[in-house]
Chain A
């Protein structure tokens, strides 16, 4: 999640986390000033934005004939993937490889009384058996270091590992794992945030005083004074569920001991190679340079292959070093669902005050997230919630508190959208409730309050350095789905059981990490002597298409065709550490770094061309050649590469991009939490069977301002995927939790949308208001695409039925009866 410029930052308590947060903010602030100096030109132009938008656009984005950018180029990895040649983590095999297996807790909370591994050790095919006793450095963690590689004396959730082994075959490993006997003393558990925050609640995390992981306050104006001015005050509670990432590929890692010059080399579906490297260096107590992570193709991640993969890599590494043999760990789907972290369930209390005409005057919000057994990324996830909780609306008086609490449920961490989908679900549902209460339309209430250029957010940030395009995205999405006509039609009485409704939601979303952490990324562009080009990036392909985007950017800058570029897998020993591939930051951060590297190369080329070809003017790079500004060809690119090489000129470069500055006051939540924002609107049309509770989403329209679409087909793909994922969360996804146990451990019960659940049509509308901060003006799309669907679908459903539901998922029982049913009663 975080970019770190020190080797290890290990925190064990909330207090330490806070101090660390402050340090980070100090750094961010310093960078802010630094960036003012270096980005003078941009800032000068930003001032101009208000004077003359068009002139500004022309100057910053002269947009000459582009050959790669804004084109739906085919994915660079598609061919390997359609032929079955692309290797994923579980596809690797190494000589003499062992198969690992982990024995997990049987209880959500228990003391481990004894572990007997004798029989397993005696198994003829077993090479090693280990427990926490054999692990001197047993703790790791990205923000707070309190996640156990294997549980020491207490298991804190159902997925905690207690022992592990490796054997010659998968079968033997499975068999031997069953021979390990663990004796537990079951302990009462803490489940749900309500229970966790009670003063007398048992403390989940050893060493803590209570169950609070973090608290982020935000104070603007005086909320009580605001409420007093309101004509209407609505108070509601919303909840969202635990959600499984359900990447199609279960986690897989292979660790090779002492390969080449490293202590361990790790291959696998690693979302954030640097974070996994940090965990390994901590647990193995070695230098970062001794750990090498090489990423394989990722069969989906969505934020979900981070801490759990780090944990697996640590386990496999320990066994690999113990045996001197490669060790592979591949989860079954059940293991994946039981062990991996989830999206945080939220309980959200909203109190909103508005005037009769719909104008918002005050919001009071409390959002509590279930962090499960570990801190994981809860401090940052809930931080994004605190920034976005009021939605994209101007509210003079705001009081928001977001919290995370430890419980004995599976731990929760990053998932596409991060802390925003739950609060958007609540807040955008609330907006409709309010409109209803006031007798105005959902559209009107939003138009009255939403951000425009120069609006001030709840953090009191003035939105003045980019186009605030809420009205534009909203207009476009609503038009595409024919909202007004359908809203009118579905507001009439509908005879029969089958009813239709239409609804929408809008959002603003901070781009990249914001004040979560220092925000910078790097890349390497290396021109070979035959003119082929190798790109390494610190941010990693997660299946979203990063390699294609980065290749397009490198190709664009150097004027070469895409097939000249080879984008390598992220390799921590080569690629510059760039923080995590999260927060939809790849295009903006990583893309800028690739662009910077290519620009550095062009600076060298310019000098070389001046000398070698006696041309001092602007060089135009296109069609695999260099041209003068008048259009006469100077030299073909491969020839240039060759002659540079033979003249001893180095055509490779690191590129680096540091995000513009930000600031944040931890006590009040005031400042500039993000350097820029994206805006989106999604609308959904649903059909509900009021006789059975079945809901079908007929159509969706999604308009997103992405700044600039480097690859429009890719952007659309993100939108289609994001909306359908949101549909799953909204209607069906349910882990069947009861008191820390998970009932739905495979895809027969944990249901995600099939092709028949996807809406008949999803209209993806790309809105482009280039942003000064991004490469070619590009911002982001991965997460915005999935944060709105839940609220839009809920609003559509409410219109259809005339009844408001406030808890996810909107399953058969809730829709038919207005409440959930469970086996436990």
Chain B
């Protein structure tokens, strides 16, 4: 062992934040460790860049799921397992729950956190899509105080967020969805479990009096940072649900994706696959709306 680094553990948020500022070098927070440990193994030199590792898993301010006035708070330390088991989330944000269910494997879901998933900010991070679709915000805490940022603005590029060295992601705030909001999550991987997302799609929408009043369509692993397909959303918003041509509209999704990413080696696959996912999400939306 050459790494001369320190290990810190605290259950006190203030103390943690103080440590992040006080230390002479970079203090790396660790939650479930499922991303960090893999990275350290790949690149031992990474450890040398840290002055210390800070275990944040005992900080109670970062834990738990709770409903507040007009949003639901999800602590950064909430594990994917806790998301799956939460009745509140199942009821309000089914697409988020389904995304959590599709992550890794049972031992990973037992340990990996939603905060870690977002902070790591891989292009294939499965919770990012639903969080963006539900217009979630993050609360970032530092000694300087808190700032609130939409998840959609958090990721600059894959593996790069605007979270500062002295900040911890404290929790997420998900606006309460309006009554009758429909949401779905679909994921394609190369196998049935523990599969990196090849491409995914979240659709969240509300149909009111036969019209699409609100719609968010966010692909995952298709574009570098999670963002909605706004052009497509614009086309759909306000349309009569019965008049939605899911085949035609879904083709636009593929084109919008290519506009964002340009042609890549994987485009010949991802374009038709995304088209399929969008088509299916729209068909399901129509079915659900028509049954109501």
Contacts and interface: CB of A to CB of B under 8 A. Distances in A.
A384 interface: no
Interface in B1-44: 1-2, 38, 44
B101 to A, nearest CB: 12
B164 interface: no
Interface string B262-282: 000110110011001101100
Given A754-B191, A812-B188, A823 B265 contact: yes
Nearest 10 A/B pairs, CB to CB: A691-B276, A756-B192, A756-B193, A754-B193, A757-B192, A813-B269, A757-B191, A692-B188, A692-B273, A823-B265
A816 B277 CA distance: 14
B194 interface: yes
- Give the bracket for the number of chain B residues in contact with chain A: 20 to 34
Contacts of B194: 754
Contacts of B2: 171, 175
Interface in B170-225: 188, 190-196, 198
23 contacts: A174-B44, A175-B2, A691-B276, A692-B188, A692-B276, A693-B188, A693-B269, A693-B273, A696-B192, A731-B191, A732-B190, A732-B191, A751-B195, A754-B105, A756-B192, A757-B191, A757-B192, A812-B198, A812-B269, A813-B268, A813-B269, A817-B268, A821-B268
A821 B265 contact: yes
A821 B193 contact: no
Interface in A615-633: none
A755 interface: yes
Contacts of A638: none
Contacts of A691: 272-273, 276, 279-280
A241 to B, nearest CB: 14
A821 B268 CA distance: 8
B219 to A, nearest CB: 13
A825 interface: yes
Interface string A690-712: 01111010000000000000000
Contacts of B195: 751
Contacts of B196: 748
Interface in B117-139: none
Given A732-B190, A751-B191, A821 B269 contact: yes
Contacts of A753: 191
B257 to A, nearest CB: 15
A821 B194 CA distance: 22
Interface residues of A, number: 28
B40 to A, nearest CB: 13
Contacts of B265: 821-825
Contact of B269 (A751, A754, A817, A823): A817
Interface in A481-516: 497
Contact of B1 (A171, A821, A822): A171
Nearest to A332: B41
Contacts of A757: 191-193
From DSSP, what is the main secondary structure of chain B's interface residues?
loop
B266 A821 contact: yes
A342 to B, nearest CB: 19
Contacts of A756: 191-193
B65 to A, nearest CB: 27
A769 interface: no
A171 B273 CA distance: 45
A459 interface: no
Contacts of B198: 812
A347 interface: no
Contacts of A817: 268-269, 272
A816 B188 CA distance: 13
B168 to A, nearest CB: 27
From DSSP, what is the main secondary structure of chain A's interface residues?
loop
Contacts of B276: 497, 691-692
Nearest to B272: A816
Contacts, number: 62
A14 to B, nearest CB: 39
Interface string B249-267: 0000000000000000110
A735 to B, nearest CB: 14
Contact of A692 (B1, B191, B268, B277): B277
B190 A816 contact: no
Given A812-B198, A817-B268, A822-B265, A755 B193 contact: yes
Interface string B38-54: 10000010000000000
Nearest to B266: A821
A670 interface: no
Contacts of A175: 2
Interface in B62-80: none
A718 interface: no
Contacts of A825: 265
A757 B190 CA distance: 10
Nearest to A734: B190
Contacts of B191: 731-732, 751, 753-754, 756-757
A811 interface: yes
Nearest to B276: A691
Contacts of B190: 732, 751, 811-812
A821 B264 CA distance: 10
A824 B194 CA distance: 26
Interface string A803-825: 00000000111001100011111
Nearest to B194: A754
A692 B273 CA distance: 5
Given A691-B276, A692-B273, A821-B266, A754 B188 contact: no
Nearest to B38: A748
Q: Which of A497, A731, A816, A822 has the most CB of B within 10 A?
A: A816
B273 A754 contact: no
B39 to A, nearest CB: 12
A754 B198 CA distance: 17
Contacts of A816: 269, 272-273
Nearest to A175: B2
Contact of B192 (A692, A754, A821): A754
A171 B276 CA distance: 49
Contacts of B1: 171
B224 to A, nearest CB: 16
A691 B280 CA distance: 10
Interface string A728-755: 0001100000000000000010010111
Contacts of B272: 691, 816-817
Nearest to A811: B190
A174 B3 CA distance: 13
A691 B199 CA distance: 13
Contacts of A821: 265-266, 268-269
Contacts of B273: 691-693, 812, 816
B203 to A, nearest CB: 16
A824 B2 CA distance: 38
A497 B196 CA distance: 23
Nearest to A689: B276
Contacts of B280: 691
A163 B38 CA distance: 27
B115 to A, nearest CB: 22
Q: Which of B44, B190, B265 has the most CB of A within 10 A?
A: B190
B165 to A, nearest CB: 28
A455 B139 CA distance: 77
Given A756-B191, A822-B265, 4 more contacts: A732-B190, A754-B191, A812-B198, A817-B268
A154 to B, nearest CB: 29
B35 to A, nearest CB: 12
Interface in A536-562: none
B142 to A, nearest CB: 33
Contacts of A732: 190-191
Contacts of A693: 188, 269, 273
A338 B193 CA distance: 25
Nearest to B277: A692
Nearest to B192: A756
Interface in A773-825: 811-813, 816-817, 821-825
Contacts of A822: 265
